[in-house]
Amino acid sequence: MKKKPTILAVDDTEINLDILVGILKEYDVIPALSGKDALQIVREELVDLILLDINMPDMDGFEVCKRLKADEQTKHIPVIFVTVKQGEQDIKQGFELGIADYVAKPFRPTELLGRITTHLELKRYRDHLEDLVKERTEDLMKAKEQAEASEKAKSEFLANISHELRTPMHHVLSYSYLGRKRFNTSNDMTLDCFDNITDAGNRMMDLVDNLLDISKLESGQVDYQMKKIDLALILADLTSEFSTVIQEKSIHFEIKKTKLTTFISCDELKIGQVLRNLISNALKFTPTSKSVTVMFETEELLTGKIQTDKKTISALMVRIKDEGVGIPESELETIFDKFIQSSKTKTGAGGVGLGLSICKDVIEQHHGKIWAENNPDGGATFSFMLPYEQEVA
């Protein structure tokens, strides 16, 4: 059997309460002769609506309503003032306190019943909506927990499998090196075989290292060693590291001179990895006899968490400009996603699209920003900004 709605009727006159009980026969009515009694009842009994007189001794209706609305357990119960006091200021004060409605005495029973029916329906719909929101929130929380558990399991798997693959790959590369050394006087075919084994092993080792880096970054296991370093010196070291590729492709590689100091606070190994990756890509996709240029500039870096927060700090910007194939405009935003490669470069160049994703994670962990854009005259420019204290050399 469906339970009747429960109404708490509060009035300091017994005859008024008797009249209300007689009118509200289709409801379970709980009478209360004072504000204190009413507050005690709602602490012990779940009611659906409260009819409240204003003029009562000891505690008037305004104070009762104020206390009801201040209590987390009772603030959502609709309150209807039923009173002879109907001055405009009193009505205004009642609505400011949060009453649902106002009925003046002497009232017409049909009017009172109509107001009660309306507010009980509104409460029922609100309660139903709250239940749906609560249920949906619980579902979302469960889905979030499952997703986080899945992500953690994936990261742990990648880390474990990466460690497991490194040992046999080191063996492959070691035997390849020894084989090439032993058979260095053999025919070209034998040496080519060992060279191919070495190249394939190095590519595999790069992939394993990238997978390990991704798993560490995603699981928050990376320990950043922050100290003040000179980015220009890191770039100079990288120039010598890539000298063979630069010479073989006759690429004009230039680091533009700057009057700015290039010292920033960062993790030297991680930022070095970012620069190495970006320069390697620039050299890989730049045709023979073309140019790759590295420039230092200053810029303002937005630090706000939301779009309307325009607070900025000084930043050192590194721009690596190539003269390669460029990036389709529709792919500029996704090029830093995991396992994503540009449709112009993914064939014949190797890699699985992890390097730029690692760069993005590292730069963001340094509270910086990284992006790509196409050059008007061809090729692409990859840029990143890191916070720093601007000085002039």
- Lowest-confidence range among 155-169, 248-262, 315-329? 155-169
**Same-domain check for residues 268 and 359:** yes
Give the model's confidence band at 135: pLDDT under 50 very low, under 70 low, under 90 confident, else very high. confident
**Same-domain check for residues 231 and 378:** yes
Tell me which residue of 242, 218, 220, 238 sits closest to 230, measured CA to CA. 238
Mean pLDDT of 375-386: 94
**Same-domain check for residues 321 and 345:** yes
Q: 362: which residues sit within 8 A by CB, 6+ positions away? A: 217, 267, 270, 271, 273, 274
The reply to whether 269 falls in a domain is yes
**Same-domain check for residues 265 and 381:** yes
Question: Residue 265 corresponds to which amino acid?
Answer: S
Domain count, the chain: 3
- Using the predicted structure, report yes or no on whether residue 37 has a pLDDT greater than 90: yes
**Same-domain check for residues 357 and 245:** yes
The reply to whether 358 falls in a domain is yes
State the residue range of the domain holding 346.
226-387
Q: Which of 184, 219, 254 is the last residue of a domain?
A: 219
Instruction: Find the angle CA(278)-CA(279)-CA(283) to the nearest 5 degrees.
Output: 120
Mean pLDDT of 287-297: 94
**Same-domain check for residues 369 and 265:** yes
**Does residue 285 contact residue 322 with C-beta atoms inside 8 Å?**
yes
pTM of the model: 0.51
Ramachandran area for residue 298 (φ above 0: left; ψ -120 to 50: alpha; else beta): beta
Higher-confidence residue of 262 and 179: namely 262
- Using the predicted structure, report yes or no on whether residue 349 has a pLDDT greater than 50: no
**Same-domain check for residues 342 and 236:** yes
Cα–Cα distance for residue pair 269/290, rounded to 1 Å: 29
Percent of the chain having pLDDT more than 90? Answer: 42
**Does residue 257 contact residue 295 with C-beta atoms inside 8 Å?**
no
Supply the Cα-derived Rg of the chain in whole angstroms: 37
User: Could you read off the pLDDT of 94-119 as tens digits, one per residue?
Assistant: 899 999 999 988 889 999 999 999 99
**Same-domain check for residues 207 and 184:** yes
Higher-confidence residue of 201 and 341: namely 201
Give the model's confidence band at 62: pLDDT under 50 very low, under 70 low, under 90 confident, else very high. very high
CA torsion 126-131-132-135 (nearest 10°) is: 160
Quote the tokens at residue 365: 């962990």
The reply to whether 113 falls in a domain is no
